[in-house]
Amino acid sequence: MSERTNILARIREGLSVPAPVPGTHELHGNEHATAPAPIVPGMVMKWLPPVGATFGDQVALFAKNSFELKTDFQIFDSLGELQGALKTLAQVEGWQRIGTHRGTLNDAICPALGLPMMLTDESYATPDLEKCDAGISECESLIAQTGSVLVTTRSSGGRALSVLPPHHVVLVRREQLLPDLPSGFAALKQKYTGNFPSFMSLITGPSRTGDIERILVLGAHGPKKLTIFCV
């Protein structure tokens, strides 16, 4: 407790003299000592990359971003089509075992794959999840602006399911597509205020690194592939 007191005391002492606000780099006495106008929520959207007005624009933007990020994004007209595509994927890649969690989409789709399933809703052994060929999760939302998937512990099967297996598959309904980051954060706040999940993450493409000569390599430590199936 005492270091807390010491640090806060030093901070308060330091702050007893006000600093000029940004944009005015010279000191003009104390004339600029008041706080700048707070950012009005909604303003941010005017500065960030544009997203297009209609739902169609936003889907197109999400698809374009996914392509650049090397995410496989597909949109289906029915659950049946999605199911078929997932089955094909499982066969092509030769999945032996999948990790997943309870959820309306997952429950409707995953059991029919006929593969051994490991659920992360109950306590589980990490090495077992590591051996799964794919992690299939739901998500909170998709963000058109950046091509991101927003996952949380509560909606997406915990912290590890979406990062430990080599292939992360996201099942999502089209209503979950949101235009931009501010709306993604606003939605989280609205849903969870007072009791946030302990982990929330924006996933933007499969895991990647550029640490060797700045050359892009996918699958550094997390999934090598990210597939988003939307219905």
Partner 1 sequence: MNLNVLQFKSDSERLTHNLDHRERIQSALKKYYVARDDKKARFQDWQAARQAAAETKWEAVNHLDKYLVEFADKIEARGAKVHWASTAEQAREIILGIVKEKNARRIIKSKVMTGEEIHLNAALEAAGYDVVESDLGEYIVQLRHEAPYHFVFPAMHLSRGEISDLFEKELGSAKTDSPEELTMIARRVMRDQYLAADIGISGANFAVAETGMISITENEGNARLTCALPKVHIALMGIEKVLPKFEDLALFLPMLGTAGAGQAVTCYNSMYAGPRQPGETDGPEEMHIVLLDNKRTHLLADIEQRDALHCIRCGACLNVCPIYKNVGGHTYGTTYQGPIGSVITPHLRGIQEWKHLSSASTLCGACTEACPVKINLHHHLLHNRRNAIAQKPVWWEQTLFHLSSILFNHPALWRLAAWGGRIGQLFHPLIQGTILDPARAWTKTRDLPPVADQTFKEYWRSRQK
Q: How far is the CB of 76 from partner 1 (least distance, A)?
A: 25
Q: How far is the CB of 156 from partner 1 (least distance, A)?
A: 11
What residues from 117 to 176 belong to the interface with partner 1 (CB under 8 A)? 120-124, 126-127, 130, 145-148, 153-154, 158-160, 163-164
Q: How far is the CB of 86 from partner 1 (least distance, A)?
A: 23
Q: How far is the CB of 85 from partner 1 (least distance, A)?
A: 24
Stretch that binds partner 1, among 43-51, 81-89, 92-100, 106-114 (CB under 8 A): 43-51
Q: Pick from 38, 56, 94, 114: which binds partner 1 (CB under 8 A)? A: 38
By CB atoms closer than 10 A (0-12, 13-18, 19+), residue 148 is buried
Which of 43, 46, 62 has the alpha carbon at shortest distance from 176? 62
Contact call for residues 179 and 57 (beta carbons, < 8 A): no
Residue type, 50: P
Beta bridge partners of 134: 98
Q: Tell me: does residue 36 bind partner 1 (CB under 8 A).
A: yes
Q: Pick from 95, 106, 223, 225: which binds partner 1 (CB under 8 A)? A: 223
Q: How far is the CB of 149 from partner 1 (least distance, A)?
A: 11
What residues from 173 to 212 belong to the interface with partner 1 (CB under 8 A)? 180-182, 184-186, 188-189, 196-212
Q: How far is the CB of 104 from partner 1 (least distance, A)?
A: 18
Nearer to partner 1, 77 or 211 (CB): 211
User: CB count, 10 Å around CB of 77?
Assistant: 8
Contact call for residues 100 and 110 (beta carbons, < 8 A): yes
Q: Pick from 22, 29, 94, 114: which binds partner 1 (CB under 8 A)? A: 22
Residue 159 has φ and ψ, to the nearest 5°, of -85, -30
Contact call for residues 147 and 66 (beta carbons, < 8 A): yes
Contact call for residues 199 and 133 (beta carbons, < 8 A): no
Nearer to partner 1, 17 or 92 (CB): 17
Which of 153, 125, 114, 113 has the alpha carbon at shortest distance from 137? 153
CA atoms within 13 A on the CB side of 230: 21
Q: Tell me: does residue 64 bind partner 1 (CB under 8 A).
A: no
